[in-house]
Amino acid sequence: MARIRILDKEFDKNIPYERIEAAVRDMSARIYDDYQGRQPLFLCVLNGAFMFAADLFKHYPDPCEISFIKLSSYRDTQSTGEVKTLIGLDKDIGGREVIILEDIVDTGITVAHLVEDLTRYQPASIRLATLLLKPDAVQTDVKPDYVGLEIPNDFIVGYGLDYNGFGRNYKDIYKITDQS
């Protein structure tokens, strides 16, 4: 589908699944190069990162664990700037090599908040892997260690990303149309 409608907005296909998959495989290989034998703990930030985390985790070829937390800061197409923890850590991350898995770093407010929060539990290290990065939108000094694709500052949905809860199910990524 080249164009989809979600609620009151229209979106055009922007990043096909094949490109996403290649970026995810490549990132998994880069992480493995850095972490082999170190049993990293992947920390998936729900909801948006669930598809990316599942794909990256499937491709990771060495012993590792995954855990999930749920944060939220978006309403409609804008960050509220306030990060809410809806589900917190269920695991002791003290002494662990933590790799945060995010679908997107937009303003960077969510991950900046998260990194500060996780530091209190004294992990051995914290790194950030994000499928997507909007370099022109970042407002914090967060620097992801692993980036799948850099994208312009457009609102997107699909592959786990949503518009007011809808659109996460598409395997490709779609960009909002100019008229929306």
Task: Determine, following the binding rule CB under 6 A, whether residue 128 of this chain makes contact with ligand PRP.
Answer: no
Task: Determine, following the binding rule CB under 6 A, whether residue 107 of this chain makes contact with ligand PRP.
Answer: yes
> Exactly one of 106, 141, 145, 154 is catalytic; which is it?
106
List the one residue from 56, 101, 105, 129 that touches ligand PRP (CB under 6 A): 105
Q: Is 106 a catalytic residue?
A: yes
Nearer to ligand PRP, 67 or 79 (CB): 79
Task: Determine, following the binding rule CB under 6 A, whether residue 45 of this chain makes contact with ligand PRP.
Answer: yes
List the one residue from 74, 121, 155, 166 that touches ligand PRP (CB under 6 A): 74
List the one residue from 103, 146, 159, 163 that touches ligand PRP (CB under 6 A): 103
C-alpha to C-alpha distance for 179 and 147, rounded to whole angstroms: 30
**Site residues for ligand PRP, window 133-172 (CB under 6 A)?**
162
Q: Under a CB-based contact definition with an 8 Å cutoff, are residues 53 and 66 in contact?
A: yes
Range 161-165, long-range pairs (CB < 8 A, 24+ positions)? 161/48, 161/103, 161/104, 162/47, 162/48, 163/6, 163/7, 163/9, 163/11, 163/76, 163/77, 164/7, 164/75, 164/76
Picking from 90, 106, 120, 102, the residue whose alpha carbon sits closest to that of residue 153 is 106
Instruction: Give me the residues that bind ligand PRP (CB under 6 A), please.
Output: 45, 47-48, 71-74, 79, 102-110, 162
Residues annotated as catalytic are: 106
